[in-house]
Amino acid sequence: MISAVDITKDYWTEGRVHRVLSNVSLTVGRGEKVALLGRNGSGKSTLIRLLGRVELPTSGIVEQTMSVSWPIGWAGGVHPILTGNDNMRFIARIYDKPFDELKAYVEDFAELGKFLSEPLRTYSAGMRARFVFALSLAIDFDCYLIDEVMAAGDQRFQRRSHEELFEKRADRSMIVASHVAEIVKSYCSRALILHRGRSKMFTDLDLAFDIYNDL
C-alpha cells in the first residue's frame, strides 16, 4: 500500500510562497492500478517525487508498505558519464541483485550489445530510453511508477515493453501518469486528476477523461 494523506507542498521562491499541491490524497493498494492525469503545472511531477520520497511534503504524510520503483522510463536515474555496465552495477548493488542476472535481462531486452560498455552519453535518445526501461523492469517491485513512457523503440520493442509491464506484471500495483486514454482505460481502475495543485479521484474513467480533456 502506498498512501499520500492530505499532502500540501509549498515552494518558496524570491520570498513568495507558491503552493504546488493542496490537500492531495491518494491511496494505492496491492495490485491496484491508478492513473494520474494532470497538465503541465498541475503538480503531477511534484506528486510523483513526493511518492518516491525524493521530496518531503510541507504537511501531510506519505506512507509506503510496498516497494516502489523509480519512475519507469525516466532517464534521470542513470549517470551519463558512466557506462551501461557501470550503471547496471550500481543498480545491482543498491538493490542487492546479482549483477549477472540483471545484465542478462537488460542485454536481452534492450538489445544494445557492445554499447553496454560505452558511456551513456554516447547513446542515442532511443537507445537510452530502451536501456533505462529495461533497467527499470529488471528489478521486481510491488508498485511501478510510470511516467509518460512507452514512446521509445520500434514497434517490436514497444509491444514487448507492453507485455512485460502490463501482462507479465499484471498483479502489481501501478501509478500511471499518462495522457493516453487507451492505456489508462484498459488497465487502470481509478484516475486521480490534478488541477492547479488540487486533486479529485474518479472511478468512472470516461468521465475523468471528459473532464481532463476540457481542462
Partner 1 sequence: MSDRVEPAVIFFSMGLPSPLVEWCDAVIARLVEFSLGPVDIVSANTLEELGLALIKSSTSHFVVASRMPSDGLRNVLTEHNTRYVVALDDPRAAFQNLVTKYGLDTIAATRAVAGSCASLLNYTMTEDALVLRAEREGRDPLGTAQTIARHFALDVAPADIAQIVVGLADISLTSAPSDIDTWWSDLEEPKRVIAVSALDGYVEHFAGRGLGKLIWSRDLFFVGDDPRQPADRPIDITGRIRNLVFGPYIILPPGSWVATVVLGFSREAAEVSYAIEFIAGPRCVSLCRTTIQPQGDRVFEAAVFFTVEPATDQPISLRISNERAAFEGQLVLGSVNLTQQSRGRPEIPDELRIALDH
Partner 2 sequence: MFWRGFQVQRRVVGALLIREIYSRFGRETIGFAWLIAEPLVFAIPVLFTWRAIRNPHEHGLPLMPFLWSGYLPILLFRHLGGRALLFIRANATLLYHRRVTIFDVFLGRALLEIGGNLTALLVSFAVFYCIGEMEVPKDLPMFYLGYFYMIWWCVAAAMIIGALSERSEWVEKIWQPYSYLYLMFSGFFYLADWLPLGLRNAALYQPYTQAYEIIRGGIFGTTVRTYGDPLYTAFALAILTVLGLWLMHEARKFLVLE
Among 193, 197, 203, 205, binds partner 1 (CB under 8 A): 193
With CB under 5 to 8 Å by kind, the binding choice for 193 among partner 2, partner 1, none is partner 1
Q: Does 181 bind partner 1 (CB under 8 A)?
A: no
Select from 21, 24, 34, 57 the one that contacts partner 2 (CB under 8 A): 57
Dist. CA 85–CA 173, nearest whole Å: 29
**Quick one: 62 or 208, whose CB is closer to partner 2?**
62
| Candidate residues 151, 170, 180, 207; the one interacting with partner 1 per rule CB under 8 A | 207
State which of residues 25, 67, 189, 213 lies at the interface with partner 2 (CB under 8 A): 67
DSSP conformational letter for 72: B
Q: By CB under 8 A, is residue 163 in contact with partner 1?
A: no
Rounded to the nearest 10°, the torsion over CA 104, 107, 108, 110 is 140
Residue 112 to residue 159: CA distance in whole angstroms: 17
Q: CA-CA distances (angstroms) from residue 6 to 157, 165, 175, 196, 212? A: 39, 30, 18, 15, 22
Strand ranges inside the chain, DSSP E: 2-13, 16-28, 33-38, 59-64, 143-147, 173-177, 190-195, 198-202
CB of 201 to partner 2, least distance (A): 24
Q: Are 99 and 88 in contact (CB under 8 A)?
A: yes
Footprint (CB under 8 A) of partner 2, residues 81-100: 81-83, 86, 89-90, 93-96
> Does 198 sit near partner 1 (CB under 8 A)?
yes
Of 32 and 142, nearer to partner 2 (C-beta) is 142
Count Cα atoms within 13 angstroms, Cβ side, for 17. Answer: 7
Examine residue 201 and tell whether it contacts partner 1 (CB under 8 A).
no
Minimum Å gap between C-beta 209 and partner 2 is 26
Spatial strand order in the sheet of 173-177: 143-147, 173-177, 33-38, 190-195, 198-202
Binding of partner 1 at residue 200 (CB under 8 A)?
A: yes
Which chain residues interact with partner 2 by CB under 8 A?
11-13, 45, 49, 52-58, 64, 67-71, 76-77, 79, 81-83, 86, 89-90, 93-96
